[in-house]
């Protein structure tokens, strides 16, 4: 979902790519374990919600997960919701070392914005 919301369109080429990849794994007797989120938030959702700071992102994430289940669930039985769950709030919103690079100036003067005392807890 390159524009962040299912209602804004689905990349059919992307669906085909992952469908073919899953089929190729299964043909080789490799069980696919699929991660739904691994540091790949569409920029439009970062811009619209400031990433995971707004609870409105939950319904878009659910739509994305539902699409994955609909398209691949007949072949994928093992799902990981978020890879590195601890690092998203800490490194992305407290330390500013990973996307979206938010933190307080007292943590790192290079951060473009954020509040290291509250944002990691909102995101978690």
Tens-place pLDDT, residues 40-64: 899 999 999 999 999 999 999 999 9
Residues 95 and 88: beta-carbon distance below 8 Å: no
Helix (H, G, I), strand (E, B) or coil at 71: helix
Query: Can you give the length of the chain in residues?
Result: 124
Average predicted confidence (pLDDT) for the chain: 95
The C-alpha angle 105, 109, 112, rounded to 5 degrees, equals: 80
β-strands 33-37, 78-82 pairing: parallel
- Is pTM beyond 0.75 here? yes
Sign of the C-alpha dihedral, residues 15, 21, 22, 23?
positive
How far apart (Å, rounded) are the C-alpha atoms in residues 39 and 7?
A: 22
Domain ranges of the chain: 1-83, 86-124
């Amino acid at each position: 979902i390159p524009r962040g919301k299912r209602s804004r369109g689905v990349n059919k080429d992307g669906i085909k790519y992952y469908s073919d990849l899953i089929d190729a794994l299964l043909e080789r007797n490799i069980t696919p374990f699929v991660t739904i989120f691994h540091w790949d938030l569409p920029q439009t959702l970062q811009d619209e919600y400031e990433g995971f700071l707004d609870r409105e992102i939950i319904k878009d994430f659910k739509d994305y997960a539902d699409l994955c289940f609909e398209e691949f669930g007949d072949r994928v039985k093992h799902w990981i919701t978020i890879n590195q769950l601890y690092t998203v709030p800490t490194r992305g919103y407290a330390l500013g070392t990973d996307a979206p690079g938010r933190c307080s100036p007292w943590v790192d003067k290079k951060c473009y914005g954020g509040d290291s005392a509250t944002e990691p807890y909102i995101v978690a």
